[in-house]
Amino acid sequence: MGEVQDSYRQISRATGIIVGLTLVDKVLAVAKETLTAYWFGVSAELDAFNIALAFPGVLTLLLSGAIVSAIVPLYLEWSHKYSPVQADRRAVHLFYFLGLLFIFATLAGFAASPFLIDIMGYGFDAPQKVLAVALQRILMLIIILDGFGIVLRGLLQARKSFFGLTAAPIFVNCFIIGMLLFGRDLGIHALVWGTVLGTFCKTAYMLVLLSRQGMRFVPAGLPSKETIAAFAVLVFPMLGSELMSNSNLLVDQAMATQLTSGSVSTLRYAYRINDLPVQVVVLAISRAIFPYVAEQRIRRDAEALRECFKHIVILLGFLSFPMACLAGLFSREAVGILLQRGAFDATAADETAQTLVFYSLGLFLYAYTFVNGTFFSAMKDVKTLFIMGCLATLLNATFNLLFMRWIGVQGIALSSTVTQGLISIIFMRIIKKRLAIDTISEIFRNLVPVAVACVALIMAGYWLRMCFLGLDISPVLFLPAAGFILGISYLALLRFICLDELRTSVTLIVPRNLVNKILGPPRGW
């Protein structure tokens, strides 16, 4: 138990670093989205950019998930078997080997852009397709630039260098903001070149950081057959899984081109706002626990894996349940504050807010997918991830067809929530067997106090919203005030009704002494 608590303290420190830097990055991301909405609204031009970015963006996203998930456990195994110099040499060999593949993928993507836009933007008119092809050919540079960065991210995560890992993405938002502020004459190309230049600087920063840590990136040949085989065994099934899972982003945006002009942008804005708390907190937790879970698997510490999984799921409920409630209650005010200015008018804000509500319904399920992937990757059970990824894509496309005919772009968001719900239920049953968990219901029993507190939160939030609307107070003042009041009330209520397991789970991200002050000490401490 002492080793588990020590791991929790390390995870808490790592999560704190990641959350802090991610929060900075996401504040910049909000500023970027605000500027984008101000200049471009939900225009056809922005739709073309989003579709153009979708292929290289999703490709690097799936490569990132697959390659990082393979490199972290592999590098940790090499570090246990060989000397640090030998482990680094194997990693550098992979770096250059994969770099050659990224160069080929970039050139192939450039040549295939007209074909890709015909497929992904099949609902566009001719001028939109021409613009999208031109933008996508520039954005294909992201594949090679971010491709090298993916390997570097995996090495930083395996080395538990969480500061550098999380600070690197800040470059992208900084460059995009800079281009939107000072390169406005470039029009939509300001977004394009901001993305490309920011990605270049992000990768260069990680390369310099690892070099300063002693890793030598001098070319020394290609990896051995043994290294490639060990990497391929993990990465190819994971690539399939990531492709199937992340292809949902491509499918959603492509299908949204059938709807009215601006639907792709509406979907993208709502997705990014819903994604914000997940990126700040949940992704930080997933990154922090990955190397620790991988080490527990290497040590074959089944009890530690079960405990970690249980407390992570409970923590997700503690964080995501109230977030979903607040998003559902105040979606219109949040969208209005963040985006409604310039070309982004009230109609666009209404559409985006309605779409956000349907996304927020599945916030816990969406958050769970990150943690679920972390555990299955660490356990090297990539076959399950691949099969479930295929099923998720099929379900998502089917529900898209059904729901978008019923409620338009909001139906695509609802489809994501329903799909994540069904897939999460199946995954829970599988991981129960893999980790030999006696009963999943015991985990969710600890979330009953959270659910009770959230019901009270909804009622109080609805009353507050009516009061503030009646007083005609600006949302800029009302929303932070309501969020503070409801947040304090939520924690105060949990102090009286929460279970010991919930308190223990919160120590994954909050120091124990602070948890004692907020929720009170559990009986076992």
pLDDT at 43: 86
In the predicted model, what is the mean pLDDT of residues 170-189?
92
Residues sharing a CB contact under 8 Å with residue 297, sequence separation 6 or more, in sequence order = 73, 305, 378, 379, 380
Who wins on pLDDT, 437 or 193?
193
Residue type, 479: L
In the predicted model, what is the mean pLDDT of residues 237-263?
72
Who wins on pLDDT, 498 or 491?
491
| pLDDT beyond 60 at 2 | no
Residue 268 tokens, joined: 């993208």
pLDDT classification of 138: cutoffs 50, 70, 90: very high
Residue 3 tokens, joined: 């080793």
Q: Provide the 8-state DSSP code for 222.
A: P
- Cα 7 versus chain centre, distance: 23
Distances (CA, A) of 350 to 325, 332, 336, 337, 354: 18, 7, 9, 12, 6
Residue 171 tokens, joined: 């470059």
For the chain, the domain total comes to: 1
Residue 313 lies in a domain: yes
Residue 404 lies in a domain: yes
| pLDDT beyond 60 at 5 | no
Residue 318 lies in a domain: yes
Highest mean pLDDT pick, 104-113, 253-262, 297-306: 104-113
| pLDDT beyond 60 at 244 | no
| pLDDT beyond 80 at 205 | yes
Residue 234 lies in a domain: yes
pLDDT in tens, 350-369: 999 999 999 988 888 888 87
Who wins on pLDDT, 245 or 501?
501
Residue 46 lies in a domain: yes
pLDDT at 112: 94
| pLDDT beyond 60 at 523 | no
Nearest Cα residue to 244 out of 428, 447, 383: 383
Report whether 274 contacts 363 (CB < 8 A).
Answer: yes
pLDDT at 521: 65
- Cα 167 versus chain centre, distance: 16
Write out the residue range of the structural domain in which residue 409 sits. 2-437
Residue 443 lies in a domain: no
Within 10 angstroms of residue 447's Cβ, the number of other Cβ atoms is: 22
Report whether 177 contacts 29 (CB < 8 A).
Answer: no
Residues sharing a CB contact under 8 Å with residue 481, sequence separation 6 or more, in sequence order = 468
pLDDT at 524: 44
pLDDT in tens, 309-329: 888 888 888 888 888 888 888
Report whether 160 contacts 14 (CB < 8 A).
Answer: yes
Who wins on pLDDT, 498 or 481?
481
Residues sharing a CB contact under 8 Å with residue 66, sequence separation 6 or more, in sequence order = 235, 238, 239, 241, 242
Residue 447 lies in a domain: no
- Cα 276 versus chain centre, distance: 8
Q: Provide the 8-state DSSP code for 82.
A: S
pLDDT classification of 448: cutoffs 50, 70, 90: confident
Residue 428 lies in a domain: yes
Q: How many residues are given for the chain? A: 525
Q: Provide the 8-state DSSP code for 160.
A: T
Q: What percent of the chain has pLDDT over 90?
A: 20
90-99, 106-115, 210-219, 431-440: the lowest-pLDDT one? 431-440
pLDDT at 179: 94
* CA–CA dist 38, 184 (Å, integer): 12
* CA–CA dist 426, 420 (Å, integer): 10
* CA–CA dist 315, 12 (Å, integer): 12
Within 10 angstroms of residue 359's Cβ, the number of other Cβ atoms is: 26
Within 10 angstroms of residue 173's Cβ, the number of other Cβ atoms is: 23
Query: pTM for this structure?
Result: 0.72
In the predicted model, what is the mean pLDDT of residues 115-143?
91
